[in-house]
């Protein structure tokens, strides 16, 4: 299948001191530091990682909510970073966004109908009447009462609002939707419904998803391929089966070993990898392999001096580790405490 979206060497640095007088200190937060991947038409690529690893920034750079510092983004052949005005507007019609927080992403002073009609108004689609009909249709499609178009967001729960957020993203029949943690703000019982809805909509409308999440269980459910990010870089990339069954990067292994298994017997016998310490400061990331400060396999000085490239470990499966090859998770028995900190977005 043809790649719909190609991202190559994407870099986004945020200047730290943006005062009038201190702007020349030159310190930057390296939120995304050379990320490359492709998303094929009709597939779902999952982007996973801890809070602050740059996954949301990547998503926002792709639809130009943020301007990338460097790198290339191609969508259906067009160079996204060079798009101007009308072309950018057309591009944004094709690439829609679903936000994490269903409370903050809907304007509290607009009715559901106004919220959903807005993309149509902006792109000059249809008459007032037609737009209203389409809003009603779409509300039905996402499982809400079409009569709710005159209601305001504050009258509804998180799950219902998120359905409206999804409906809004669908109004223009986009080719691709960037889902920025669309379920992590919802109750677990609602998460499954929204995920199912997204899957069904993908089939119905032939959508391509870039699915950003920190929850591996969610990613596993919906994604065809998975990219694992750590401190602004992709450390492992491959089909979900390969990544989940034979993770090559020690970071991926530790993430997977933290996912609880519903069988208590199995859960007790499982090997756990517990990472030491916190995620390093992205203003001043570790030299060499960025993971070496927390890696259970790190060999010095190799890992602290040489940065491992993302290389193929199996067909369609890449990992960025000097020791990347399929190997079993080390057999030390560990307690049940959380495996990595900071995952509380």
Residues lying near another protein in the complex (CB under 8 A)? 20, 63, 65, 88-89, 92-93, 96-97, 99-101, 104-110, 118-119, 122-123, 140-145, 147-148, 150-152, 154-160, 163, 165, 168, 172, 190, 193, 196-197, 200-201, 204
Of 191 and 253, CB closest to another protein: 191
| Cβ at position 344, least distance to another protein in Å | 19
Minimal distance, residue 331 CB to another protein, in Å: 42
Residue number with CB closer to another protein (104 or 271): 104
Give me the sheet containing 78-79, strands edge to edge.
28-40, 3-15, 70-75, 78-79
Is 7 in a helix, a strand, or coil?
strand
Q: Nearest distance from residue 165's CB to another protein, in Å?
A: 8
Name the helix (H) or strand (E) containing 162.
helix 158-170
CB of 200 to another protein, least distance (A): 5
CB of 283 to another protein, least distance (A): 22
Contact 31, 61 (CB under 8 A): no
For residue 131, the minimal CB distance to another protein (Å) is: 14
Which two tokens mark 259? 């996912």
Non-local (6+) Cβ contacts of 49 within 8 A are 55, 214, 228, 229, 230
163 or 249: CB nearest another protein: 163
d(CA 71, CA 194): 33
User: Minimal distance in Å, beta carbon 8 to another protein?
Assistant: 22
User: What b/e string do you get for 112-122 counting C-beta neighbours within 10 Å, with b at 16 or more?
Assistant: bbbbbbebbee
Alpha carbons 276 and 293: distance in angstroms, whole number: 8
- Helix %, strand %, coil % of the chain (to 5): 35, 20, 45
Residue nearer to another protein on the CB measure, 140 or 305: 140
When the beta carbons of 151 and 270 are compared against another protein, the nearer one is 151
Q: How far is the CB of 119 from another protein (least distance, A)?
A: 4
Please identify, using beta-carbon distances, which residue of 57 and 318 lies nearer to another protein: 57
Q: Where are the alpha helices (DSSP H) in 22-127?
A: 55-62, 85-94, 112-122
Question: Please, which residue, 126 or 286, has the CB nearer to another protein?
Answer: 126
Rounded to whole angstroms, how far apart are CA atoms 53 and 310? 17
Residue 209, token pair as written in the block: 């998803």
**CB-CB contact of 258 with 234 (8 Å):** no
- Which residue, 200 or 284, is less far from another protein as judged by CB? 200
Contact predicate 142/197, CB 8 Å: yes
- Minimum Å gap between C-beta 118 and another protein is 7
Task: Identify which of residues 169 and 313 has a Cβ nearer to another protein in the complex.
Answer: 169
**Residue 220 contacts residue 244 (beta carbons within 8 Å):** yes
CB 343: neighbour CB atoms within 10 A?
16
Token pair recorded at residue 273: 């990898």
What distance in Å separates the CA atoms of residue 112 and residue 102, rounded to the nearest whole number?
13
């Amino acid at each position: 299948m043809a790649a719909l979206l190609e991202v190559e060497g994407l870099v986004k640095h945020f200047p730290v001191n943006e005062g009038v007088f201190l702007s020349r200190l030159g310190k930057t937060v390296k939120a995304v530091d050379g990320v490359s991947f492709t998303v094929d038409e009709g597939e779902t690529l999952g982007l996973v990682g801890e809070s602050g690893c740059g996954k949301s920034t990547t998503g926002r750079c792709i639809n130009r909510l943020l301007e990338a510092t460097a790198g290339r983004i191609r969508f259906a052949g067009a160079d996204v970073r060079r798009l101007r005005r009308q072309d950018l507007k057309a591009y944004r019609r094709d690439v829609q966004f679903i936000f994490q927080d269903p409370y903050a992403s809907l304007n509290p002073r607009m009715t559901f109908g106004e919220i959903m009609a807005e993309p149509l108004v902006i792109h000059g689609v249809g008459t007032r009447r037609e737009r209203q009909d389409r809003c009603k249709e779409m509300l039905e499609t996402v499982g809400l009462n079409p009569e709710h178009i005159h209601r305001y967001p504050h009258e509804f729960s998180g799950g219902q609002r998120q359905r409206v957020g999804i409906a809004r993203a669908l109004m223009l029949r986009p080719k691709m939707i960037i889902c920025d943690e669309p379920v992590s703000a919802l109750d677990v019982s609602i998460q499954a419904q929204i995920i199912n809805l997204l899957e069904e909509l993908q089939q119905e409308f032939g959508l391509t998803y870039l699915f950003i999440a920190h929850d591996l269980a969610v990613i596993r459910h919906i994604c065809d391929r998975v990219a694992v990010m750590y401190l602004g870089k992709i450390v492992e990339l491959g089909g979900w089966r390969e990544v989940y069954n034979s993770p090559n990067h020690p970071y991926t292994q530790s993430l997977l070993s933290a996912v609880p298994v519903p069988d208590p017997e199995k859960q007790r016998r499982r090997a756990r990898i517990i990472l030491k310490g916190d995620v390093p400061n992205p203003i001043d990331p570790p030299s060499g392999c960025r993971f070496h400060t927390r890696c259970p396999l790190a060999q010095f000085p190799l890992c602290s001096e040489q940065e491992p490239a993302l290389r193929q470990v199996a067909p369609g499966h890449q990992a960025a580790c000097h020791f990347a090859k399929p190997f079993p998770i080390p057999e030390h028995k560990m307690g049940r405490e959380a495996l990595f900190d900071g995952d509380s977005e």
